[in-house]
Structures are given as C-alpha cells and as structure tokens.
Structure 1
Amino acid sequence: MLTGFYTIASGLMAQQKKLETEGNNIVNAQTPGYRTQRVTAVPFDQELYSRLENGTSSEIGYASPATIVKNQTTRFNVDNIKQTDRNMDVAIDGNGYFTIAGSDGKKYITRNGGFDVDSSGYLELPDYGHVLGTDGQPIHVGDTNFTVLSGGTVLNSSGQQVGTIMLTTPADDAELTQYSNGMFAAPANAQTGAAGAGVSLRQKSLESSNVDLNREVSMMMEAQTSLQSCSSALQIYDAVNQKSASQIASL
C-alpha cells in the first residue's frame, strides 16, 4: 500500500524542483548574461507487474512507480547584445566567459559584463570580485574612463595599456555548475587567454539573459498545476488507506 505514497511523493518533489528552477529563471530575467536552466525528470527503475486471477499469475508488463529529477541543465545559447552607452559595460561577442576572482578566494566565470571600478581603481564585477587579466591578476584601470579594445586590451584614461581581459572557454563536454546569480564555477580543464578568432569584446554594451519570460511563466503555471494535482492525489490516496484500515479490516 505504500507504493502509491512513494509514487505521488516523487511527483511532488519533481514538480517542486521545477517550480524552484522556473522561479529562479524569472527572477534573473534581467540579469545580464544569465543562462536559463531546465529540470530533466526521468522514470525511476522499472518494475515487472503481474496479475493474479483465479489462482494463476500472468505478466502484465513493465512500469515505473516513481519519477526522479535526473539533472538540471543550462541553455548556453547567446542572446542579444544591447548597447548601454555605459563606459564600464562590456559584452562578449562570441564564445567565452569573463573570469572573476571572487571575494571568497574562488574563481568564477560569467557572461555578465556589468563592471565597475572599486575604491582602489581595480575593475570589478560588483558584489562578486575583481576581473582577471590574461596574466592572472586583477586589472587596475585607475578610474572609470578606461577603454576596452575589441581584442580585450584595456587602456587607462592616459591611453596606457594596463592589461588584457582574460576569457575562459570551457571544453565542449564540461559540466558547469551554475549558481543562482548566473555565475559559474570556473572549470579546471578550461582554456584561458585573450579573445581568439571570431570573438570580440564590445564596450558600452551588455548581453541580456536568454530567459523567455512568456515561456517561463507558462512552464511555472504548468508545474504549479501538476504540484496541486499530486497534492490532491495524495489526500485521496490517504483517505483510501484510512478506509482500508478502519472499514475493510473490520469485516
């Protein structure tokens, strides 16, 4: 009798995870460079079902009594690059990620180029950390009147070269860990260096997120409806079990 509880509970957990993921996508719809996430649910291990009738047993077939969340995937398609006319905004036109030295001592990668200059004159991604150059060190620009050339070379307000923005390109088969704010953990086997062929940096521009709000809201409503259906089914199944225990057992 407990099989039904496990089946419904697995559905509840899968839909709850979908709701959380869709909600995070909607919250980050305006986060520059954010990448949409998707939950992939698959059937649990299949079981052989049989039928007992008139003292004889016959096989019905295979089925799965539960659903589990297999993984959470990320859509990496590049979205629109929009001009902002803000000098500290930089967008990547092509493959690659900016490399950020986090305040927690870890390295992160992101497509979010909404930079700023900290009180010490270093180029930073606000609230996250310093932007690294190809030498592995933070880039000191001095003030906000710096220039970023298409190849990633950074010039200060005096026209002197102060560094080159490092771009990180993960391997095609790399599994990136994305955090809720659109930042990714820097993979160990990624290629790092200056912008390569077919890649350029565009100053005074930002890449928007690839979240389709209409689709996300629709999918969130669908997951909410499924969650409510599972909740109702759980109540019905519980009532059936209570009658089985109190009424049928008393016969």
Structure 2
Amino acid sequence: MFRGFYTVASGMAAQQRRTEMLTNNMANANTPGFKADQSTLRAFPEMLLQRFDQQNIPTENGLKLPFNKKIGTLNTGVYLQEAIPNFIQGDLKETGLQTDLALLNVSMPANGSVYFTVAGANGDQQYTRNGNFTVDGDGFLTTASGHFVLDETGNRIQLASDRFTLSEDGVLTGENGKRARLGVAFAEDSNRLIKQGDGFYRTENGNTLPTAYNVAGAQFKLQQGFIERSNVDVGKTMTEMLSAYRAFEANQKVLQAYDRSMEKVANEVGRVG
C-alpha cells in the first residue's frame, strides 16, 4: 500500500519540476538568444514480483517442493532526468541599433553552432547567442549585463563610440578607423555546453572553444542591427504547461484516494478484530 504513496509522490515532484522549467521558458520568450529547455522524464527501475510457494506431491510420506512464480513487474515511480536546451536557430529581429549583433548559422555540422565570446565574472571565457550589446563609458563593447565582449584573440574590444560597422565576416570598424575581429567560438556539440545565468554557456571542463573562423564546414555570418529572438514556441509551451498541470493534478487525486484508504484501514478494519 505505502509503495503507491512513493510512486505518486515521485510523479508529482517530476511534474512540478517540469512546470518550473516550462515557466522559465515562457518568462524568457522575449529574451534575445534564449534557448528553450526540453525535459526528459525517466521511470525508476522496475521491480520484478515473484510469489514463493510450495507444491504438495502425493507420496506415502508426503513431499513438498518449493517453487516461485513470476507475477510481473511493478513500476516504482518517475523522475525528471535532465533539462536539455534546444539549440535550434531563433528568428532574427531587426532593431536598427548598431550595437545589436546577430549570428546566423548558414551551414553547420550536426549539433554544432557558433557563439559570441564574452568574459565571465571570474575572467574565464563564456559563450552566448544574445547579441544585445552596448558600449560602456570607457568605450568597451559589453553585454547588457556588463560582461566584456571579446575579440578573436580573447581581448576586450574598445571602440571610440557606438558608431561602428560590422562586416558579415566579423570585422568591427570603429569611428576612428580602428579595427578588431569579433570573437566567435565554435562548439562541435552544443549539447555538451553547460547553461549559466544571463543566457551564458560554458564548457564542461572549463577549456576554451576554438575560434569559428577556421573551422571547416562551419558557415555563418554576422548581421548588424539585428538580434536573434528566443526560440521558445509560446503556443507549444502553454500546451505543455497545461499538460504538466493536469498530470500533477491526476497524481494528487490518486494520493488523496490512498489517504482515504489508509484512513479507512485505521478507523474501521482495526475494529473488526
């Protein structure tokens, strides 16, 4: 009887986590470069039930032979195994702002993608698809949250003003004629990147990704005055949120039924004896 409590509770916990993930996707539907998370639910290992018994053999002295019979399997619950970002290219939105930059994947190897290179809070390199940049008071190109955007060699990019131009192959030309090439990194398998806050990603082992300009088969271009929109499908996300809520509600009803059964056992069956 109590095994059912654990099974139902695990279902409720999994659907709650799934709802939180979908809510986060919905909240970032308008965040430039955001990649929606996808959940994978997995069942706990099944238990094999067997009945141990004995068979009476009609002999002079009586013979009892033990045997066990397979009853079947019993599922012991479910859990949300992991949340994996969906790295499909988002639509480009024209903003007209010169500091807004967008990466457009033209042709990429399977699971491969390109990312802007930025300086993390600890000075390490991190990666993002959010090209909503700005120029700070010292002339450095930064993200909206203040992280420095890096060039091809891993150095900060300093410009005379926000009036600069960007070629499709990543060359920034400032108002004073100063030039720098925007740092664009290539991830051979985007699924191996670890999601951070503010739309940033890092590698599993902390190593830096190679520059994308020299990778064979990785064709991309940069566009100034555009940003990549979030790839969250609002309609699909709303449907999945309702589905997760209904599944949570169904588990809740089963849990209430178990509770009533146990109450009946405690209050009525005990009196029979």
TM-score by length of 2: 0.84
In structure 1, give the amino acid aligned to 2:130: N
C-alpha separation between the residues in 2 aligned to 1:106 and 1:148?
A: 25
Q: Deviations over 1:43-102 (max 9, x none)?
A: 101101246899996322223221011111111111212222110010111230011113
Q: Note if contact 2:18-2:80 (Cα within 8 Å) is conserved in structure 1.
A: no
Structure 2 residue ranges without an equivalent (≥5): 56-66, 106-112
SS in 1 for 2:126: strand
Q: Note if contact 2:96-2:226 (Cα within 8 Å) is conserved in structure 1.
A: yes
SS in 2 for 1:249: helix
SS in 2 for 1:141: coil
Aligned residue-pair number: 250
Q: 1:60 aligns with which of 58, 71, 75?
A: 71
Find out whether 1:10 has 2:31 as its counterpart. no
C-alpha separation between the residues in 2 aligned to 1:185 and 1:250?
A: 63
TM-score by length of 1: 0.91
C-alpha separation between the residues in 2 aligned to 1:136 and 1:179?
A: 20
C-alpha separation between the residues in 1 aligned to 2:266 and 2:54?
A: 25
In structure 2, give the amino acid aligned to 1:8: V
Find out whether 1:151 has 2:169 as its counterpart. yes
**Which structure has the larger Rg?**
2
Q: 1:231 aligns with which of 252, 269, 273?
A: 252
Q: Note if contact 1:103-1:129 (Cα within 8 Å) is conserved in structure 2.
A: yes
C-alpha separation between the residues in 2 aligned to 1:203 and 1:173?
A: 24
Q: Note if contact 1:123-1:141 (Cα within 8 Å) is conserved in structure 2.
A: yes
Query: Percent of pairs identical after alignment?
Result: 30
CA drift of 1:149 comes to: 1.5
Q: Note if contact 1:91-1:206 (Cα within 8 Å) is conserved in structure 2.
A: yes
Q: Note if contact 2:192-2:203 (Cα within 8 Å) is conserved in structure 1.
A: no
CA drift of 1:190 comes to: 5.1
Q: Deviations over 1:133-162 (max 9, x none)?
A: 11211100121101111111111112221x
Q: 1:99 aligns with which of 114, 117, 123?
A: 117
CA drift of 1:104 comes to: 4.5
CA drift of 1:236 comes to: 1.6
C-alpha separation between the residues in 1 aligned to 2:167 and 2:196?
A: 29
CA drift of 1:106 comes to: 4.0
In structure 1, give the amino acid aligned to 2:20: E
Q: 2:194 aligns with which of 149, 174, 177?
A: 177
In structure 2, give the amino acid aligned to 1:34: F
Q: 1:74 aligns with which of 70, 85, 98?
A: 85
C-alpha separation between the residues in 1 aligned to 2:81 and 2:5?
A: 20
C-alpha separation between the residues in 2 aligned to 1:250 and 1:112?
A: 68
Q: Note if contact 2:85-2:191 (Cα within 8 Å) is conserved in structure 1.
A: no
Structure 1 residue ranges without an equivalent (≥5): none
Q: Which moved more, 1:9-18 or 1:67-76?
A: 67-76
C-alpha separation between the residues in 2 aligned to 1:29 and 1:211?
A: 5
Find out whether 1:38 has 2:64 as its counterpart. no
Q: Note if contact 1:12-1:231 (Cα within 8 Å) is conserved in structure 2.
A: yes
C-alpha separation between the residues in 2 aligned to 1:220 and 1:194?
A: 37
Find out whether 1:216 has 2:237 as its counterpart. yes
C-alpha separation between the residues in 1 aligned to 2:173 and 2:212?
A: 15
C-alpha separation between the residues in 2 aligned to 1:238 and 1:170?
A: 51
